[in-house]
A = this chain, B = another copy of it.
Amino acid sequence: MAFSERISRLKSSLIREILAAAQRPEVMSFAGGLPAEPMLPTVDWSAMPASVSQYGMSEGEPELRELIAAEARSLGLDCEASQVLVTCGSQQALDLVTKLYVDPGTEILVESPTYLAALQSFQLFGAQCLEVPQEADGPNIAALRQRLENHKPAFAYLIPTFQNPSAVRYSEAKRDAVAALLDEFGVTLVEDEPYRELVFDDYKAAPITSRLKTTGWIYTGTVSKTLLPGLRVGYLICSKELFPHLLRLKQAADLHTNRIGQWQAAQWLGTEKFQRHLAELRSFYRVRRDAMQKALEEHFGELADWNMPQGGLFFWLKLKNPIDTRALMHKALAVDVAFMPGEAFFIDPDSNPGYMRLNFSHVAPERLGEGLRRLAGVVREAQAANS
């Protein structure tokens, strides 16, 4: 069979495979980024007009685009509804960005580690990823400058707010520094912000996009983490010169995003009801974060280091005695525990052993201790066998 050249680079999504394995009800899953089921709001469909049954516009529903643009303006983005493209989740925004920029060999800039499913999309199309090491407060700025001086990446893909997987939130200083560097070198910013609203303290950092002065930008978001993932409604907002290209790529990809999900999302965005829901969500996840922190201290205190996340859905553990945790995945599943090996979030997994991403939103607190106890056992056993 003669497939395209890109198929030789087609990787399975490790996340999706683990999620599939984790569907047995007895499995305690720290693997996915699933919202907690009790916090999925009950939604009302009774007022949905029949008109949304018909074909719609590739751009998305006008009402929803207005709401998304208004929210973005409140974050400091200078934008209009005409710059908003509704997508099938924010994953599709990544697919469109990849199509817009990436030929085999195209250099792009990413954090190290970075989001696995973004890497999957970029690498499928043959991107050469330049890595910038992630520190506790954002990327290493000297390394970023060096990459920009020595290369001309098509774009920089950054997740500045509660990055998946590292949970890092860029400091104000690093946000400003990154924006200034991208402007200086004229590199387009792709800013991915699925976790912005899942914040557990009072600090709200303005997007890097809002700090840019001259360079192009694409800002992506989703209602999957705040409302309902099953709607598959995400979006991108972009600088004006990029919009016509991204719109045509969307047309060719699937004509338009489903309208029923768009209608439902428009019932929530910008409402007091949504603000109340987000407040409840933050309280609920803060409790789970705290329970996880406590259970981790008990079971992983000797095994790993981590920073307590101030938002998002994940803890990011670095083993003190690093071993490749990809080898532990099946052993953990054998004792009904699922987690995400952290190596998969690096361009070169083999050079970065000893990381684990643990989701804290999904497992009920009463099962948390048992799950982490078993997982720690799997780690200890493997380390003992290795030594």
Contact = CB atoms under 8 A, between A and B. Distances in A.
11 contacts: A1-B216, A3-B100, A13-B248, A46-B46, A53-B229, A55-B229, A88-B88, A99-B124, A230-B258, A253-B253, A260-B264
Interface residues on A, range: 35 or more
A37 interface: yes
Contact of A231 (B40, B121, B258): B258
Contacts of A54: 34-35, 37, 40, 228-230
Contact of A95 (B188, B228, B254): B254
A92 to B, nearest CB: 4
Select the residue from A16, A46, A57, A230 with max chain B CB neighbours within 10 A.
A230
Nearest to A255: B91
Interface stretch (A65-73, A101-109, A169-177): A101-109
Select the residue from A7, A37, A106, A251 with max chain B CB neighbours within 10 A.
A251
B120 A56 contact: no
Interface string A3-25: 11111001111001001100000
A163 interface: no
Select the residue from A100, A106, A254 with max chain B CB neighbours within 10 A.
A254
B45 A48 contact: yes
Contacts of A100: 3-4, 7
Contacts of A125: 4
Given A55-B229, A224-B55, A6 B88 contact: no
A101 B3 contact: yes
B34 A230 contact: no
A56 B1 contact: no
A286 interface: no
A252 interface: yes
A16 B95 contact: no
B253 A91 contact: yes
A160 interface: no
Select the residue from A102, A241, A253 with max chain B CB neighbours within 10 A.
A253
Interface in A50-87: 50-58, 87
Nearest to A249: B10
A254 B56 contact: no
A259 interface: yes
A221 interface: no
Contacts of A216: 1
Contacts of A2: 101, 152, 154
B257 A103 contact: no
A57 B20 contact: yes
B259 A230 contact: yes
A207 interface: no
B230 A260 contact: yes
Interface string A237-250: 00001000100110
B248 A232 contact: no
A188 to B, nearest CB: 8
Nearest to A227: B53
Interface string A211-224: 00000100000001
Nearest to A23: B57
A363 interface: no
Contacts of A233: 258
Nearest to A253: B95
Interface string A104-135: 00100000000001001100110000000000
A148 to B, nearest CB: 14
Contact of A252 (B35, B121, B228, B249): B121
A124 B338 CA distance: 40
A152 B87 CA distance: 36
